[in-house]
Every structure is written in structure tokens, then in C-alpha cells.
Amino acid sequence: MPKYLTFILFIVVSVACAANWNLTELTELNFASTLAQNHIVSVLFYRPNCRSCSEFRQEYGQVVNYLRSRNLTYVMAQLDATLAPTVIANYSVVEYPTLMVFKGGQPIRCDTSRRVGEIAAFLYRKAFVQALPIFAPDDLRRIASPSDLRIMRSILVSDSPEALAEYARLAVVTSTDCEFYHTSPRLFGTVFPGSETNMTHNMLLVFHPITEFAQNFTGPLTSPEMESFLQHTEQRLIFPVSRGIAERVVLRSDPYHILVALYASRGSMWDEFDKFVAAAPPCRRCMFVRSPAVVSPADKSLARALWISESDFPSLVIAQWEDGTLKRWRREKLLNAGDMTGFFRDWLDGRAVRSLRSEAVPESNPGPVYKVVGETFEFEVIQPEKDVVVLFRSDWCSGCDELDVIMRDLALEMRGDESVKFARIDGTKNEVGRGQPRNYPSVRLYPQLNKAAPIDIEYKFEEDFIRQIEKHHKPRRGTKAKERQTVKKEEL
């Protein structure tokens, strides 16, 4: 197992150690001297009033504790951007938080949207990374046929001392998250005799964790050219929908990558999509995919997860796993690259409206337990200035029908209380976008004073359920509530 994978496993269980970070505080006065005196320095640039900075510092602190517990000579520091405008300008820091690793004074940026283990592995690799040689045929066969990649992997096939030196330098200074190996054309040609590689042929192979093939670069093997190719492979992938993409990104709940998928017939829309991707703002984690139809099993499985049918063509869909939920944003009837770019920028800036799955809005909804769907959840549950008790159920859940009866009886008993409302929703056919429960039946009370903090109603018996509702629901003063009436239970 690679060292950095062990590192990830350890960092996850080291959360309890994050209380005492002991980060080195940098200022404009000691910044340059710290970099000069230490070969490796990681610096977190933050602002005191930045909420996301505070959250990221919690994760950064976990990495600090792990490295220091292992007695690694790695300076972990932070810098208040408001007190160091010259440093901020010198390194073009424009957003916060920003994390950089300085190795020999050279800055390497880290994607701060990553999780703790990913940040830890990145810092570890950047501190100790080197281009590793491959001498044995079995090792080359294994490394060049990746089946369990977590990040990109590159292999330089060359005997040129100049190319090897450039490649070694690239491994140290690049901000691209990648494993680096090199081997000789002779060995590569022996292991893969069907390849075009020969005794004098130089090339760079790059394997991506999502794709099922290698990207081949035969241009000038200089550090800038090779880094440009790595970044292009990492950020600008366009390929047909494959089973690997469907399973890895969507069906296997990949929390790191983001899917940007165009569903449209071949032709001008595909050309516009290519233009959009070529000029799109950088998105290191985005996988750009296009599909002409929902035909193959892989296409169908992906389209089903994204709630796409051919009647929705053309559509551009952005999908991302977050907090155990596959979130989707969709724009239909896009005509050109400009429309796609506008939608993509809105998503990057947080202005795009998330698409929620929803059944059709019911034509009549008499109660006493109101039917709610994804499209009406905001109106029926969040907006009313009253407590709302919601039953999340499913058609296949045996206990849901029994709880439905209990909810109906309780709603009838409390029908004179205007400060409470009872509702039910099929959680398998609708999305609410607010930490939706995945177990059925589940009951949540959305309090009138704080709808953003729903209360889970836990119970074992009917009496427990009623007692929990009475505990958390306080009738509003001034409500003209009728006295409770005992309603004989009836079979629905």
C-alpha cells in the first residue's frame, strides 16, 4: 500500500487530536525568512471573518497534529491575509481559504474543497514526492494497468537525460495531484510489444481514475508542456458516457468528482459543448461528458440516477455528491456555448438553483395529513409559520402504513390547533434538499421558530410517538384550540 494511503487512514482516526493545533503564525516580517530557512513550508492564507476559512482550519489542524505526531520536519503555518497585503499580492491570493506548499521557495497550490484525508495526502505527496523508476516488467504491467486509482498517474517513457530532469522537476513543482513514474522505451516495448513505442520514441502516458484508457502525449517533453498536458487531462476531459463513469461518479457515490453531462443528439449541440468546455472556467474536479441517447445499460443507469429521459433533450446536468446526497442542477434547451458557460458560471458562483426530484403536484389535498411533493415542500413545510410534522415514507415500507394511520388519528385529535400541521411525503420519489432522511418510516418536526433545524421524532410504540410530538410541539399562545376529542381509529 502506498505511504500516502496509510496516511489517509491514520488522519481520519486522528480527529480527536485537533484541539491543539500549534500552527506557526506568519506575518509580513517573518514570511520570507521562514521560507528561506525551511525547505518545506505549508501556509494557509485566511481571513478572520471568513466562515469557510474557520471550517477549513479545523481540517488543516488535523493534518498538523498528524505530521507532528510522526516527528516530521514540516513547517505548518497560517497567515492572516488582512495583515499581510504585500505577501498576498506577491503570490496572487484572491480567494480564501487558500493553501500552498512552498518547496524550496516554489509555491504549489492545494484545492481547498477537498476533504481531510485528501488534503493530508496532497501535503504528504508534495513534501516527499519524486518520480519513481520502473525496472521490472511485472511492476510496469501493474502500474500501467491501473484498476484502483484514486488520483491521476503518469509514466514517462524516455531515456533522454534532459526529459528525465524536466519530469523530475515537474513532479516537485506541479500543482496537479498525480503519481509520477518513469521507465525506458526498451522495457515498455518488451511489456507492450503492440505499442508504437520503440528504442528512440519518447512519450508521456497519463491515467485518470475515471477513464478506462491512457492519454498519450508525444510533444516536447519540457516541464511546461508536460504540466499543461497534465492539467488538460485533469480539468478538460470529454468522453462518451461509459460504465466506469456511471458507476464511479454517480452509482458509487464518488464525493470528489463532479459530473457535467450534456444530453443532446449529435451535431451542432455537441460542437457547442466542445467550445464551452475549451473555454470554461477551471474546475479541477469536473468530468465533462456527453451522451447522444439513453440506449446502452451504462447510459440508462446514469440517466436514471440523473432523472433524465429523452424527452428532456437537450439538457446540461451538473451532479455532485455532498453529505451523502447526489445533488443535481439542470438547464434545458441550451442552444450555444455561451448559454452553457453562463449556467456553469452561475453554478460555480452558487447562483444556480438546484433541481429537486418531484412527483406531480396533487390536484386536491384535503388533509388532515397533507400530501407533499418535492415541488411543494418549501410552500407546505418551510414557509408556514407553524410547526409541521412530516412523515417520510415509501411504497415498499411495511411500517409506513401503520404510522400513516397513527399520524391521521393524531392530526384529527389536534385539528383545532392552528399552530401545527401534519404532512407526508414519499422519500423515494421526491427530494426536499434539506438533509433528507434515507430510512423509512422517518418522522421529523419542523419547528416554526427554526425550520432549518428539524427534530427527529424517535419512538418504539404509538404512545412514545404521541408523547414525542407533545414534547416538541408547544401550542402557540392565543390559538383558539378546541378541546381534544377522542377519535375512534378506523382502518384506511
pLDDT tens, position by position, 383-403: 999 999 999 998 888 888 888
| In the predicted structure, residue 423 carries a pLDDT above the cut 90 | yes
In this prediction, residue 66 carries a pLDDT of: 65
Q: In what order do the strands lie in the sheet with 258-263?
A: 238-240, 286-291, 258-263, 315-322, 325-332
The three three-digit cell numbers of residue 18, written as one number: 485537533
Interhelix angle 398-413/462-472, rounded to 10 degrees, is: 50
Higher pLDDT, 364 or 253: 364
- Report yes or no on 485 lying in a domain: no
Mean pLDDT over the full length of the chain: 78
Q: What's the rounded Cα separation, in Å, for the pair 455 and 472? A: 8
Give dist(CA 72, CA 103) in Å, integer: 15
Average pLDDT of the residues in 72-83: 82
One domain for residues 98 and 146: no
270 in the same domain as 224: no
Helix (H) and strand (E) counts in the chain: 16, 20
pLDDT(291) > 70: yes
Lowest mean pLDDT among 41-45, 104-108, 237-241, 309-313: 237-241
DSSP letter assigned to residue 440: S
Strand 75-80 versus strand 24-26 pairing type: parallel
* Whether pLDDT at 17 is above 50: no
Instruction: Kindly report the backbone phi and psi dihedral angles of residue 60, in degrees, each rounded to the nearest multiple of 5, phi listed first.
Output: -60, -40
Q: What is the pLDDT of residue 19?
A: 40
DSSP-derived letter for residue 199 is T
CA dist., res. 1 & res. 232, Å (int): 28
* Domain-located, residue 317: yes
- Same domain? For 223 and 316 the reply is no
Task: Report helix angle 51-69 to 3-12, nearest 10.
Answer: 120
Is residue 334 in a domain? Answer: yes
Same domain, 16 and 106: yes
Amino acid in the structure at residue 14: S
Lowest mean pLDDT segment, chosen from 85-99, 181-195, 200-214, 410-424: 200-214
The pLDDT of residue 168 = 83
| pLDDT number for residue 87 | 93
- In terms of Cβ atoms closer than 10 Å to its own Cβ (0-12, 13-18, 19+), residue 259 is buried
Last residue within a domain, chosen from 128, 161, 185: 128
Rounded to 5°, angle at Cα 99 from 94 and 100 = 100
Residue 350 has pLDDT above 60, yes or no: yes
- At residue 424 the predicted structure's pLDDT band, cuts being 50, 70 and 90, is very high
- Tens of pLDDT, residue by residue over 268-277, are 888 898 888 8
Residue 65 vs residue 341, higher pLDDT: 341
Q: Is residue 318 part of a domain?
A: yes
- Whether residue 354 lies inside any domain: the answer is no
425 and 334 in a common domain: no
Same domain assignment for residues 299 and 387: no
Residues 118, 147 share a domain: no
276 belongs to a structural domain: yes
Q: Residue 238 in contact with residue 288, Cβ under 8 Å? A: yes
Residue 107 and residue 145 in one domain: no
* The last residue of a domain, from among 218, 235, 252: 235
Candidate from 10-14, 122-126, 462-466 with smallest mean pLDDT: 10-14
pLDDT computed for residue 132 by the predictor: 83
- Per-residue confidence at 14, pLDDT binned at 50, 70, 90? very low
> Are both 120 and 11 inside the same structural domain?
yes
- The residue from 100, 128, 156 where one domain ends is 128
Residues 333 and 285 in one domain: yes
Per residue in 365-383, pLDDT (tens digit) is 888 999 999 889 989 999 9
CB 441 within 8 A of CB 392: yes
- Here the CATH number for the domain that contains residue 295 is 3.40.30.10
Residues 173 and 243 in one domain: no
In a domain, 355, yes or no: no
- Residue 465 identity: F
Burial of 247 (0-12, 13-18, 19+ CB in 10 A): middle
Is 324 within the bounds of a domain?
A: yes
Specify the 3-state DSSP secondary structure of 260. Answer: strand
Does 333 lie in the same domain as 250? yes
Q: In the chain, how many domains are there?
A: 4
Cell representation of residue 29 = 516580517
pLDDT for the residue numbered 434 = 63
Domain extent for 124: 3-128
